[in-house]
Amino acid sequence: MYKVCELFLDGEGYQFEVEGDFFWGESKLLFKTEDNVISKMPWKDEGYAVVNAFSSEDFQRLKKSMENNIVKAIQTCIPNFDASDFQLENYHKIVTTDELHNQVINITRNLENEDFDFDIDALANRFGEILGYKLTSWVEELQKSHIQIRLSRPNSLDINPPHRDGYLSYWEDIINVWIPIVGCNQNSSLPVYPRSHLIPENEILRTASKGAKINGNTYYVPCILETKKGKIEMIRPNPKPGEALIFSPFLIHGSAVNKNENITRISLELRFPKIKP
């Protein structure tokens, strides 16, 4: 069944078709109001915050490590690709078809700590200090670390639908970390729906996990089509280079359409589980 997902990004209407079976949830709140990873924060009711994350030197090292991973992925798909003058924001000029892009992101969305010339565990410690909890990069249920590079070409549907990561069991007790690298601005940064982690399931119309398809692509996360309040109204917090957007896994987010005319948006997604005592 096809439905049109209609939402607002900073007050501007946007829509796209989603294929899937939609249903209203049960009368319960999945977000744990006590001892959750953001429970010590003054912004816990908003569900998100923008925080300082890196020194300039650390940011540049992380950016270079991401570039190396992206070049390696492109060269896997285009063996004769010459990366000598490659610039991250011009990714869309190299990867010019959906088919090729899907081949690249099949690599870049399943990376682990050892793929980076950067101490990811140090980042877990850094955000843990901010939140007042001990965090780890190790995901017990997956038996590995998990890192995603997001590549969003301009004027494309290189997006996730509106969703909650917490619907997936291995993301129930984590902090989401979204780090802008290039091309991230008011036209492209990750949208969030403030306070939506406090919406109970019977007020949300969604698909099951792996139950939503957009532009021929099936998504692990369920698509949230609307709430009983109506269409989803999201904002783009727009963190600057060196900052990070952190948020609850039950905050509705996604649909990060890149409205820049000729710049690829590249960001890093990390999910750090809270270490149980």
Q: 149: Cβ–Cβ under 8 A, 6 or more apart, which residues?
A: 66, 69, 70, 108, 109, 111, 266, 267, 268, 269
Cβ atoms of residues 222 and 212 within 8 Å: yes
pLDDT at site 155:
86
Tell how strand 232-234 and strand 2-9 pair up: parallel
- In tens, the pLDDT along 207-244 reads 999 999 988 888 889 999 999 998 899 999 999 999 99
Work out the angle between the directed axes of helices 98-108 and 56-77 (0-180°, nearest 10). 130
Q: What stretch of H or E contains 52?
A: strand 48-52
- Ranges of residues in the chain with a pLDDT under 50 are none
Query: What is the total residue count of the chain?
Result: 277
pLDDT at site 216:
82
Alpha helices in 24-55 (DSSP H): none
Nearest by Cα to 73 from 112, 103, 118: 103
What 3-state class would DSSP assign to 5? Answer: strand
pTM of the model as a whole: 0.96
- Please provide the distance, in angstroms rounded to a whole number, between the alpha carbons at the two ends of the chain: 45
At residue 163's C-alpha, the angle toward residues 272 and 71, to 5°, is 60
Q: How far is residue 159's CA from residue 196's CA, in Å, rounded to a whole number?
A: 19
For residues 243-262, one letter each, b for 16 or more C-beta atoms within 10 angstroms of the residue's C-beta and e for the rest, the string is bbbbbbbbbbbbbbbbebee
- In tens, the pLDDT along 261-270 reads 999 999 999 9
Q: How far is residue 47's CA from residue 253's CA, in Å, rounded to a whole number?
A: 11
pLDDT at site 217:
84
pLDDT at site 157:
85
